[in-house]
Amino acid sequence: MLNVAKEVSAMERMSVDELRRKFAEVCGESTNGRNKPWLIKRIAWRMQANVEGGLSERARQRAAELADDAYLRVTPPRTPKASAAAPSVTGGVRLTGDHRLPLPGALLVREYKGRTVRARVLADGFEFEGERYRSLSAVAKAATGKHWNGFHFFGLRSAGENA
């Protein structure tokens, strides 16, 4: 007979890697999960299900029905209202991304402690000294060795933000 409390107590003393191995052993599949409480819950449930039986066929069918209905959209997405006083666009149109950033290909330049820091805007990130970065903050940290808000470092803050 399975003593769930004893098994859970033993699992709480295990490392995450040990729990992942136990998960694979008990569930018959590996996991990428590294959340210890989640692993313990899943392993304990599977152990109980193996000893006492899992979900009934009726419960499995109902869960499948709910999962099928879960992604149905009931209402259409809202469309933004066009404003009569909306300003016209005179430059290039940016379809995606942050409105504070210039278009890909632009060069961001900043003087920092007597050194010129140059970063090129890419479609999917930034280039600085031949390396690719996912964020401006990462570029600023690579350039200075300290954490900076990248938009602040390169002077790209919006007009409404505090300086």
The model's pLDDT over 28-69, given as tens digits with 9 standing for 90+, comes to: 999 999 999 999 999 999 999 888 888 888 998 988 888 776
Q: What is the pLDDT of residue 90?
A: 58
Ranges of residues in the chain with a pLDDT under 50 are none
What sections of 74-154 are H helices per DSSP?
A: 136-144, 150-153
- Concatenating the DSSP letter of every residue in 105-126 gives T-EEEEEETTEEEEEEEETTEE
Domain ranges of the chain: 4-69, 107-153
Q: What is the pLDDT of residue 73?
A: 65
Q: Is the pTM of this model over 0.75?
A: no
Partners of 120 in the β-ladder: 107, 127
